[in-house]
Amino acid sequence: MARVVLRNLRKSFGALEVIKGVDLEIEDGEFCVFVGPSGCGKSTLLRMISGLEPHTSGAIEIGGRDVSGAEPSERGIAMVFQNYALYPHLTVRENIGFGLSLARVPKEERNRKVDAVAEVLQLGPYLDRKPKALSGGQRQRVAIGRAIVRDPEVFLFDEPLSNLDAALRSQMRIELTELHERLGSTMVYVTHDQVEAMTMADKIVVLNGGRIEQVGTPMELYESPATPFVAGFIGSPQMNLFEGGAARTMGCDVYGIRPEHLTISDGAGQWVGRVRHVERLGADTIVHLDVPDLGPLVARVDGGLTYAIGQQVHASPDPERAFKYRG
């Protein structure tokens, strides 16, 4: 069984420390998403788990075995890259079967396994094509197929959907989730997109500047973000965060309130502001306000409500759901 455990993992490139001590336990069969802004070290962390990047100090365990010194191919992992990394000179069948042919698996068995994977991913008609002749979504499937055929204990994904268009991305999100349910393997998934994190993860690891900011289920992170960073990162539209004088009047250093936890009214309310911009999404409407006491404020209100630009309105936070941070 493949629990993945990272103990005080560090990584430096020369003098630059990129991963600054990460402790993490990923349970067997869990879908774990690393999320964080670009450059925070997500890929580096994933590549250290894969063994492509040696770590500077600390330990990595996969399935109870310390793999700190092991070759990538000995770690029981498979990886799907952002740009797919399909072998351009090989057909889809050879791409998927490449690892098996390296391992000198007999041809019949190899074909049988490749066919089985192609069946799952609906790649049957394309098995004799070169990657060049495939669409982005199909290439992505081939890359996933190449991972599945290795029958790994842990799947590693590095932003696998970021080269796809929006429609295909949401479809692939569902397919990946279903694949995870079907295979039951541990999956570690890197993304900078908090929507992917929220929709797919069993466990989200929020990274910031080479450190873990918070670990939890999507709803835990949404309902009780431990730091202003997590509060601002999880949720869309972003949480309204205020520092300085505005926050001090509310008795804290950082004050946060989600757009969906604000009520807008014409009558009395906590803050008075003017409507600067209105985004109509149909079911919801996002209202951007200028509040003299605070600065810009975003509220999510029912789609049926309308506001004119420049109109003066009152906004009130739900005090139960406001976040107050110190330090």
Partner 1 sequence: MTDRSLTARNYAMGVVALLLAFVVFIVPFLFVAINAMKTAPDAAQLDFSLPERWVFWENVVTTVQTRDYALLLAYWNSTLITVCAITILVIFGAMVGFVIQRRPSPVSRFVYVLILSGLMIPPAVVPTIWVLQGINLFKTLQGMILIQVAYGLGFTVLLFRAFIATIPRELDEAAIIDGAKPWQVFFRVVLPLLKPVTVTVIVVQSISIFNDFTHPLYYLPGRDNVTVQLTLYNFQSQFASQNNLLFMNILLITIPPLIVFVFFNRQIVAGMTSGAVKG
Ligand X SMILES: Nc1ncnc2c1ncn2[C@@H]1O[C@H](COP(=O)(O)OP(=O)(O)O)[C@@H](O)[C@H]1O
Q: Report the interface residues with ligand X, using CB under 6 A.
A: 13, 18, 36, 38-44
Q: Which residues of 126-161 are buried (b: 16+ CB within 10 A; e: fewer)?
A: bbebbbeebeebbbbbbbbbbbbbbebbbbbbbbbb
Give residue number: closest CB to Mg ion.
43
Residue 240 in contact with Mg ion, rule: CB under 5 A: no
d(CA 108, CA 100) in angstroms, rounded, equals 11
CB of 79 to ligand X, least distance (A): 14
The CB-of-90 to partner 1 minimum distance in angstroms stands at 8
Q: Which is nearer to partner 1, 86 or 262 (CB)?
A: 86
The binder of 18, among Mg ion, ligand X, partner 1, none, by C-beta within 5 to 8 A per type, is ligand X
Q: Which member of 18, 40, 43, 110 binds Mg ion (CB under 5 A)?
A: 43
Q: Pick the closer one to partner 1 by CB: 102 or 268.
A: 102
What are 235's two structure tokens?
């949720």
Q: How far apart are CA 137 and CA 144, in angstroms?
A: 11
Nearest to partner 1 of 86, 231 (CB atom): 86
Instruction: Name which of partner 1, ligand X, Mg ion, none residue 41 binds, using a CB cut-off of 5 to 8 Å depending on partner kind.
Output: ligand X
DSSP string, 23-44: EEEE-TT-EEEEE-STTSSHHH
User: From ligand X, Mg ion, partner 1, none, which one binds at residue 89 (CB under 5 to 8 Å depending on kind)?
Assistant: partner 1
Q: Which stretch binds Mg ion (CB under 5 A): 43-51, 94-102, 160-168, 256-264?
A: 43-51
Q: Which residues bind partner 1 (CB under 8 A)?
A: 50, 52, 71-73, 77-79, 81-83, 85-89, 98-99, 102-103, 132, 146, 150
Closer of 16 and 167 to ligand X (Cβ)? 16
Contact of residue 44 among partner 1, Mg ion, ligand X, none (CB under 5-8 Å per partner type): ligand X
Tell me whether residue 52 or residue 286 sits nearer to partner 1 (CB atom).
52
Give Rg (Cα) of the chain: 23
Q: Does 191 bind Mg ion (CB under 5 A)?
A: no
- Confirm if 152 and 185 have CB atoms less than 8 A apart: yes
Burial 257-288 (b: 16+ CB within 10 A, else e): bbbbbbebeeeebebebebeebeeeeebbbbb
- Distances in whole angstroms, Cα of residue 113 to Cα of each of 121, 155, 218: 13, 18, 35
User: Please, what is the minimum distance in Å from the beta carbon of residue 100 to partner 1?
Assistant: 9
Residue placing its CB nearer to Mg ion in the complex, 200 or 207 = 207
Q: E-assigned strands of the chain? A: 4-13, 16-26, 31-35, 57-62, 65-66, 77-80, 154-158, 186-191, 203-208, 211-216, 240-243, 254-257, 262-265, 271-280, 284-291, 295-302, 312-317, 323-325
In angstroms, what is the minimal distance from the CB of 314 to ligand X?
A: 41
CB of 190 to ligand X, least distance (A): 7
Binding partner selected for residue 141 from ligand X, partner 1, Mg ion, none, CB under the kind-specific 5 to 8 Å limit = none
Query: In whole angstroms, how close is the CB of 17 to partner 1 at the nearest point?
Result: 21
Distance CA 54, CA 67 (A): 11
Residues lying near Mg ion in the complex (CB under 5 A) are found at 43
